[in-house]
A and B are shown apart, each in its own frame.
Chain A
Amino acid sequence: METKSIMIVGVGGQGSLLASRLLGNVLLAQGYDVKVSEVHGMSQRGGSVVTYVKYGEKVYSPVIEKGEADAVISFELLEAARCLPYLKKGGHLITSTQKIAPMPVITGAAEYPENLVEKLEAAGAELVAVDALSLAEQAGSPKASNVVLMGVLASRMNFPEELWQKAIEECVPPKFLELNKKAFELGKNA
């Protein structure tokens, strides 16, 4: 099979590393060759954070470039807009509707673009926009938006439910397990 590419994007501190680990474990359990690429260090401090997940029979490059992603999962709306160019024609864009102002917007040097959901749809992306923050708060913590979005992704991929559950158990500390399982469920049904 051809290699598939999924990008997970957000703002440093939103938990994209956990999300990519979950997805990576599910893909590994499905028997694929998998590569997951992260960037650590300075960019984690509130900057844009991008994680690449690729799977197939044999994966070479760990990097996803413009026009290559089958799906982009974004934890923040502006980051979804930033990563639109990475999407293949007809690719899926799953985004949280949460907005976090970047420093140039906070200082007034730039403006946060308006009506991004409508614009992304008009640009031809297969768009799913979810209020992941509210769902995460409903599950018990705003920090669980990452797992909510993995739930949304799971509902659109045909992998057995038990693989996702097992991956959550492997990647989440026991004391947050119930909360994250609830967040995943809310995402799946969103």
Chain B
Amino acid sequence: MKKLMLGNEAFARGLYEAGCRVVSSYPGTPSTEITEEVAKYEEIYAEWAPNEKVAMETALGASIAGARAFCGMKHVGLNVAADPLYTAAYTGVNAGLVIAVADDQGMHSSQNEQDSRHHAIAAKVPMLEPSDSGECKDFVKLAFELSEQFDAPFIVRMSTRVAHSQSIVEKLDRQELPLKEYTKNPQKYVMMPAYAKGRHVFVEERTKKLVEYAETSPLNRTEISDKAEFGVITNGAAYQYVKEALGERASVLKLGMVNPLPVKLIQDFAARYEKIYVIEELDGIIEEHCRNIGVNNVEGKSVFGYIGELPQSVIAEKLLGEKKEFAALEDNIPVRPPVMCAGCPHRGLFYCLKKLGVTVSGDIGCYTLGAAAPLNAMDTTICMGASISGLHGFNKARGAEAEHSSVAVIGDSTFMHSGMTGLVNIAYNNSNSTVIILDNSITGMTGHQQNPTTGKNLKGDPAAAVNLEELCKAIGIKRVRVVDPYKLAETEAAIKEELAADEASVIISRRPCALLKYVKHNAPVVVDSDKCVGCKMCMKLGCPAISMKDGKAVIDHTQCVGCGICQEMCKIGAIK
């Protein structure tokens, strides 16, 4: 049966059809839907792990135990999981192990634009890269076969466009595979120096065999055009842009296996044409490889650069000098940046932080939007967990004055991911830091995934829930308190008290995400326009439901969920 599927959904279908049995992932745009979709298949055990390192170790454990296994993450998640990855390269697998890493060319939803191929090269792990949904499914199935054939974990590299574009996929049946036999084999699975030395020899031999495979693999495909003026070597999403922009004007070598890269295949293709363009998004890895193997008639990064996506218009303009005509209005069209939703529990908390003028060490999640106008209440955002450890360092550097005027903010899911260890450091190494956990009872930004604090697992069944208050106390934080961020006065008072205290403290700002289905909304509030004096106090909240019309505040009833914080802001009681 043919169906339109997201690349991520097709990836999940591939896991199903390949007989995958164990899945452990951490959500991250644009990789999240692979695991959400795979959880719908009853035959597969699937879970959200607290972070990517735990997920990868879980999947590796399942592979060693004899089950085909998978873990998925976004590009920066692979940094967290790099430790197990680099040694899994040595142990290899028992049953097939496939890892998805989703890059975000153009940074649609990420804090950096790193190219994950570098991890594959450095770890000496093979990497495949599909360019549409059909290939996602096919490549995943082949990756399991190859993983077992070459005794290596296989990475399948996704990108935002491939992950989040739907194209046509043919559904097939699942291949049911029995568990492979598990036999104790310390030389292969105990990576202490004596055994690891032996495995490193194996890894180098394996890479040679993988290069041989890459020369003739169906993953790498040559499309020769009689009308070609030049040749193009490309991969992933860029292949689609190349075909759209150049059609028959170029012959194409499409590399579906991006690590290791073939040698002779590229040399032979390049010899056909005077000029070869390497069109790859982000870094110039294929281009450098070409030069390393003596293919010097290539050009790539000098034309296309290292930043963002390379859609058809860029290719057509750079190589053909063609530009599309279009109309535009003369008006300045105001930008529409993402904002915290109406009723978002983070809003009240950030308003208090802005009002108090404290330094805010931020983290990764919906609450990163607290950095935007009009709240502007964030000083730093680096990576998952860095809010807490970064604050500790900030306070160690600047001393008591900073300790009484700075906080860290971190979501419940991010705290479980890698915030806990930072809090241990605060308790253990004794900084008088104030940490605010924004507990909205869900992983919000990636679209509502359960996590170890929510009391439910990936499949929606009841699960053990971490008690954040008890956990923080057990870590060694004596001052732990809970506030409701819809209550501005209470929240502000709590922050002031904890900043003034002479020991470390944790404030849990607790209120479920307003978009959660079980959250009951109040009736929308209304502005009494006779009373409203147009002072714009309510506008300071940056609520998308509130705007000014003819000098008075108005509240959009389709957006307002009646959270009431604007009522608290209105000194003259004009909001009912």
* Residues of B546-573 contacting chain A, CB below 8 A: 546-548, 556, 558
Residues in B whose Cβ lies below 8 Å from that of A123: 327-329
Q: Does A1 contact B (CB under 8 A)?
A: no
Q: Does A154 contact B (CB under 8 A)?
A: no
Cα A104 to Cα B333 with chains together (Å):
11
Q: Does B462 contact A (CB under 8 A)?
A: no
The smallest beta-carbon distance between B158 and chain A, in angstroms, is 13
The smallest beta-carbon distance between B492 and chain A, in angstroms, is 22
- The one of B30, B161, B165 that contacts A41, using a Cβ cutoff of 8 Å: B30
Q: Is the CB of A67 within 8 A of B326?
A: yes
- The one of A42, A107, A111 that contacts B108, using a Cβ cutoff of 8 Å: A42
Per-residue interface assignment for chain B, residues 336 to 359, with 1 indicating a CB less than 8 Å from any chain A CB and 0 otherwise: 111111000000000000000000
Residues in A whose Cβ lies below 8 Å from that of B332: 110, 113
Residues in B whose Cβ lies below 8 Å from that of A112: 334
Q: Does B207 contact A (CB under 8 A)?
A: no
Interface size on B, residues (CB 8 A): 60
Cα A45 to Cα B3 with chains together (Å):
29
Residues in A whose Cβ lies below 8 Å from that of B132: 35, 62
Q: Does B241 contact A (CB under 8 A)?
A: yes
Residues in B whose Cβ lies below 8 Å from that of A43: 108-109, 338
Residues in B whose Cβ lies below 8 Å from that of A133: 558
Cα A11 to Cα B337 with chains together (Å):
10
Q: Does A102 contact B (CB under 8 A)?
A: yes
Cα A17 to Cα B303 with chains together (Å):
35
Nearest-CB residue, chain B, relative to A125? B327
Cα A103 to Cα B572 with chains together (Å):
24
Q: Does B167 contact A (CB under 8 A)?
A: yes
* Residues of A102-147 contacting chain B, CB below 8 A: 102-113, 116, 119-120, 123-125, 133, 142
- The one of A33, A45, A79, A120 that contacts B340, using a Cβ cutoff of 8 Å: A45
Q: Is the CB of A105 within 8 A of B334?
A: yes
Q: Is the CB of B109 within 8 A of A41?
A: yes
A-binding segment of B139-147, B366-374, B401-409:
B366-374
Nearest-CB residue, chain B, relative to A120? B329
Residues in B whose Cβ lies below 8 Å from that of A116: 329, 331
Q: Does B544 contact A (CB under 8 A)?
A: yes
Are A102 and B542 CB-contacts (below 8 A) given A33-B168, A45-B366, A62-B161?
A: no
Most buried by B among A13, A45, A78, A104: A45
The smallest beta-carbon distance between B417 and chain A, in angstroms, is 17
Q: Is the CB of B30 within 8 A of A68?
A: no
Q: Does B244 contact A (CB under 8 A)?
A: yes
Q: Does A174 contact B (CB under 8 A)?
A: no
Residues in A whose Cβ lies below 8 Å from that of B244: 60-61
Q: Does B445 contact A (CB under 8 A)?
A: yes
Nearest-CB residue, chain B, relative to A111? B334
Residues in A whose Cβ lies below 8 Å from that of B166: 24, 34-38
The smallest beta-carbon distance between B422 and chain A, in angstroms, is 24
Q: Does A44 contact B (CB under 8 A)?
A: yes
Per-residue interface assignment for chain A, residues 68 to 87, with 1 indicating a CB less than 8 Å from any chain B CB and 0 otherwise: 10000000001101101111
Q: Is the CB of B4 within 8 A of A34?
A: yes
Nearest-CB residue, chain B, relative to A25? B4
Q: Does A175 contact B (CB under 8 A)?
A: no
Q: Is the CB of A37 within 8 A of B161?
A: yes
Cα A50 to Cα B3 with chains together (Å):
22
Q: Is the CB of B337 within 8 A of A40?
A: no
Are A63 and B4 CB-contacts (below 8 A) given A36-B165, A87-B326?
A: no
Cα A45 to Cα B109 with chains together (Å):
11
Residues in A whose Cβ lies below 8 Å from that of B338: 12, 42-47
Most buried by B among A24, A33, A41, A111: A41
Nearest-CB residue, chain A, relative to B163? A40
Q: Is the CB of A45 within 8 A of B341?
A: yes
Are A106 and B547 CB-contacts (below 8 A) given A34-B168, A87-B326?
A: yes
Q: Does A156 contact B (CB under 8 A)?
A: no
Residues in B whose Cβ lies below 8 Å from that of A166: none
Residues in A whose Cβ lies below 8 Å from that of B399: none
Q: Is the CB of A63 within 8 A of B167?
A: no
Are A42 and B109 CB-contacts (below 8 A) given A60-B243, A78-B333, A107-B542?
A: yes
Residues in B whose Cβ lies below 8 Å from that of A13: 341
Q: Is the CB of B339 within 8 A of A103?
A: yes
Q: Is the CB of A47 within 8 A of B336?
A: yes
Q: Is the CB of A45 within 8 A of B339?
A: yes
- The one of A28, A41, A103 that contacts B372, using a Cβ cutoff of 8 Å: A103
Q: Is the CB of B167 within 8 A of A79?
A: no
Q: Does B84 contact A (CB under 8 A)?
A: no
Cα A99 to Cα B326 with chains together (Å):
24
Nearest-CB residue, chain A, relative to B366? A45
Cα A66 to Cα B311 with chains together (Å):
11
* Residues of A1-53 contacting chain B, CB below 8 A: 11-13, 24-25, 28, 33-48
Cα A81 to Cα B328 with chains together (Å):
8
Q: Does B517 contact A (CB under 8 A)?
A: no
- The one of A11, A41, A60, A101 that contacts B445, using a Cβ cutoff of 8 Å: A41
* Residues of B142-174 contacting chain A, CB below 8 A: 160-161, 164-168
Q: Is the CB of B544 within 8 A of A46?
A: yes
Q: Is the CB of A66 within 8 A of B241?
A: no
Residues in B whose Cβ lies below 8 Å from that of A34: 4, 166-168
Q: Does B29 contact A (CB under 8 A)?
A: yes
Per-residue interface assignment for chain B, residues 230 to 270, with 1 indicating a CB less than 8 Å from any chain A CB and 0 otherwise: 00000000001101110000000000000000000000000
Q: Is the CB of B167 within 8 A of A62?
A: yes
Q: Is the CB of B339 within 8 A of A46?
A: yes
Q: Does B194 contact A (CB under 8 A)?
A: no
Q: Does B324 contact A (CB under 8 A)?
A: yes
Are A61 and B331 CB-contacts (below 8 A) given A37-B164, A42-B338, A105-B547?
A: no
The smallest beta-carbon distance between B258 and chain A, in angstroms, is 19
Are A63 and B311 CB-contacts (below 8 A) given A41-B30, A107-B374?
A: yes
Nearest-CB residue, chain B, relative to A59? B167
Instruction: Report 8 cross-chain contacts, Cβ distance below 8 Å, ordered by A residue.
Output: A40-B32, A43-B109, A46-B336, A46-B340, A82-B333, A89-B325, A103-B374, A112-B334
Q: Known A-B contacts: A60-B240, A60-B241. Give 7 more (CB < 8 A).
A: A39-B160, A48-B336, A67-B324, A100-B556, A103-B372, A103-B374, A107-B374
- Chain B interfacial positions (CB closer than 8 Å to A): 2-4, 6, 29-30, 32-33, 108-109, 132, 160-161, 164-168, 240-241, 243-245, 309, 311-313, 324-329, 331-341, 366, 369, 372-374, 445-447, 539, 542, 544, 546-548, 556, 558
